[in-house]
Amino acid sequence: MTGNQIEGLVGMLATFGLLVLMVLPSVIGIVRDRRIDRQIREAQEGRGQGKETQKTQKSSSRSTVPSTATWYAEGRRSKKLVNS
């Protein structure tokens, strides 16, 4: 190999290395987005199956009564609306 060929090879490798450094973050981002999309899709499919089981469950016969904290907070909110 002559000096010119070695110089050309080094230049070509440097150019290829810069190209890889510039493209690598994009490729990593695309792979990450696809992984996240897959996880979201799997979670939605799992949630859809969970809804079917929730519909078949019966609710308890007890009536739900708001807690004291909820009752107190509701009273405070209504007083604030009247005062302002």
Q: How far apart are CA 19 and CA 11, in angstroms?
A: 12
For residue 66, give every residue at least 6 positions away whose Cβ sits within 8 Å of its Cβ, in sequence order, or none: 74
Q: What's the whole-model pTM score?
A: 0.46
| pLDDT tens digits for range 30-78 | 999 999 999 999 999 888 775 555 555 565 666 666 666 665 666 666 5
Distance CA 66, CA 72 (A): 10
From CA 30, how far away is CA 27, in angstroms rounded? Answer: 5
Is pLDDT of 4 > 70? yes
Q: Residue ranges of the domains in the chain?
A: 23-50
